[in-house]
Chain A
Amino acid sequence: MTTTPEPRDERVPVTVLTGFLGSGKTTLLNRILTENHGLRIAVIENEFGEVGIDDALVLDAEEEIFEMNNGCICCTVRGDLIRILGALMRRREKFDHILIETTGLADPAPVAQTFFMDDEIAAQLRLDAIVTLVDAAHVLQHLDEVKPEGVENEAVEQIAFADRLVLNKTDLADEETLGEVVRRVRTINSGVRIIPAQHAEIDLQQVLDVGAFDLERVLADDPSFLTETEHQHDTTVTSVGIDLPGELDENKLNAWLGTLLRTKGVDIFRSKGILALAGAPKQYVFQGVHMLLDGQFGRDWRDGEERRNRLVFIGRNLDRQALERDFAACLATAGAVA
């Protein structure tokens, strides 16, 4: 059996660190910068003056939301990051990894969208993972905070966007609270990997260069990633995972996905998928943030490997039945007369 070597992604990995004030972000960041992991990390921080590492490349940035399109949240990016990342890439040889520490109240969407909006950034940098820290003792009150109409609950969004969730300060919460926190986190983002911690002491390999935006790698590490979705009806932000054998008609897929993202993109925070397109010898791998998608053909389908489609949506007011039904209608065999 011959297989084409799988392409190696040479882009610089970027980790985004989010979490409320007091969740332990700076403690974790200082650990990342001082621990001997062999990586040269460039840090972009929005919270000033808290990191004091002499030989680290630390850049301060003031959060700047830039609208590419008036009023469309799907088209907002972080102007400060675009400027700084452009400058950093001209010093590419000085670091191996970029870490962005956001402010406690930052919306993760514009940060993530920055890596999808510009071809040059997408060609040189890959969003490795969004790591969200939560304070186990206080996160429930943040999740339950009632916001005025039209104002997002940042705690919910930070959990919804997370690939890794560091459940910090577990020593300050009782078992019942910890259980409830995990349950609430899972209803929002069923696939997120939860890392319990005290004083942000975690194995850094769980958060650095983890390829969390790479669904294939995620599924290799956790085959149940897509099937752990719980049918919760008491929350507006949930996950929907779909696992469907068969091959897709590209035109039907484009029509469905295009319409879905155009009409529901505001509510779809994250999407990831590995798809089998009819006639394509390789897997099609995509990831998205709101309306923006980035996809490419990945590895070859192996001899004897079942062609199947796996994708996950995390978002607000997701209609599971409609997503499953409409996606199934994209199969090449859908609608064919028996």
Chain B
Amino acid sequence: MPLGARTPGQPGPSPQLRELKQTVRTLLCLDDDTAVMVRQLACTEPGCPPVETIVAVLPMDGAARRWTLHQPADRITEDDLRHALLAPDQANHQDH
């Protein structure tokens, strides 16, 4: 697939990504109004793995939170998410 290509014939997020988002919602008991983003990004930091996956949670009211998992999105399991999201003080909070 060329770089940046969306999967042909697939209008929305991949089933795997949708599942990860749903797991995030379940683990954090989020309501429907809270936006959840899961995005794999290239990491340019020296010494880091080449890709990382960012999980961001943006509630309608309250600060946004963000977690970085140092692995590709398609390798992330529910256990990985549970470990990252539920561990104390793992989130990066951004006030707004």
Contact = CB atoms under 8 A, between A and B. Distances in A.
Interface of A: 62, 64, 66-70, 72, 75, 79-80, 82-83, 86-87, 90, 117-120, 122-124, 250, 253-254, 257-258, 261-262, 275, 277, 284, 286, 288, 291-297
Given A258-B3, A295-B3, A68 B54 contact: yes
B6 A295 contact: yes
A258 to B, nearest CB: 6
B8 A296 contact: yes
B58 A83 contact: yes
10 contacts: A66-B56, A67-B94, A82-B35, A82-B58, A83-B59, A122-B6, A250-B2, A258-B3, A275-B2, A294-B4
A297 B3 CA distance: 12
B83 interface: no
A66 B55 CA distance: 12
Contact of A117 (B17, B39, B68): B39
A64 B61 CA distance: 13
A296 B11 CA distance: 11
Contact of A66 (B14, B52, B58): B58
Contacts of B8: 296-297
B91 interface: no
Contacts of B60: 83, 87
Nearest to B39: A117
Contacts of B66: 66-68
Contact of B39 (A64, A68, A261, A275): A68
Contacts of B3: 253-254, 257-258, 286, 293, 295
